[in-house]
Amino acid sequence: MRFRVLMLLVGAAVFAGTTACDEALSDLTGPTPNLEPTFSSIQQEILNTTDSSGRPACITCHNGNPFVPGNFTGAAAYGALVGARTFEKPSLFRVAPGEPDNSYMVHKLEGGPNIVGERMPRGGGPYVTDGQMLVIRRWIAEGAANN
């Protein structure tokens, strides 16, 4: 009887030790280990920061310059992205809440076949990584909240 109890305890300990098996987000997001699927994090890590891979910050160009559409700096960024029509494809929003596949920001960052002009960031890379794109897509899929 004692042995069976011991066995059950060992089994419970094994299972308890294995239930925290979730992958770390930082393993996926490469050059931006603090990136999370929130607007504030994406603004900090993607829009505002040139990351360690050398991918330039979006606001290097999209900073209110009248010759570059979209001002992604500071408080203007959210309104310029979410529900905002694009200059190149007016039928699309830059970010369509809940619809990453219909968001032109995603098309431009992934270099989709239907984009007008260059893939972003311009200059031939480095581009946003697949892991970073998963985080951006998740934020959009969850409704693109201003969080």
Partner 1 sequence: MISFRPLGLLLALTVIAPQLAAAQEAPPANSASATAAQAAGDDDPDRDFNRSQPDFVVVTLPTTLRVPKFKSAFRVTHRFGRPLGQGDFGNLAEDLFGLDSGAQIGLEYRFGLMRGWQVGIHRTSDRTIEFFTQYSLLQQADHGVGLGVIASIDGTNNFKDSYTPMIGVVLSRELGRYGAVYVEPMWVNNSNLLPSELVDDNDTFMVGFGARIRVRPTVYLVGEYMPRTGNTPGVDHGTFGIEKVAGGHSFQLNFSNGFGTTMGQLARGGTASDNWYLGFHISRKFF
Please pick, from the candidates 21, 67, 75, 117, the single residue that binds partner 1 as defined by CB under 8 A: 21
Residue with smaller CB distance to partner 1, 24 or 75: 24
Residue from the set 1, 3, 66, 117 that interacts with partner 1 by CB under 8 A: 3
- Name every residue whose Cβ is closer than 8 Å to that of residue 129 and which is 6 or more positions away in sequence: 29, 30, 31, 53
Q: How many other CB atoms sit within 10 Å of the CB of residue 6?
A: 10
Number of residues that bind partner 1 (CB under 8 A): 24
Q: How far apart are CA 31 and CA 34, in angstroms?
A: 9
CA nearest 71: which of 45, 99, 48? 48
Contact call for residue 15 and partner 1 (CB under 8 A)? yes
In angstroms, the CA 110 to CA 104 distance is 10
Applying the rule CB under 8 A, the residues between 118 and 147 that interact with partner 1 are: 134-135, 138
Residue 91 in the binding site for partner 1 (CB under 8 A): no
**Least Å from the CB of residue 107 to partner 1:** 20
Backbone Cα Rg of the chain: 20
User: Binding mask 25-64 vs partner 1 (x if CB under 8 A, - otherwise)?
Assistant: x-xx-------xx---------------------------
Of the candidates 147, 28, 16, the one whose C-alpha atom is nearest the C-alpha of residue 78 is 147
Residues within the interface to partner 1 (CB under 8 A): 3, 6-7, 10-11, 13-15, 17-25, 27-28, 36-37, 134-135, 138
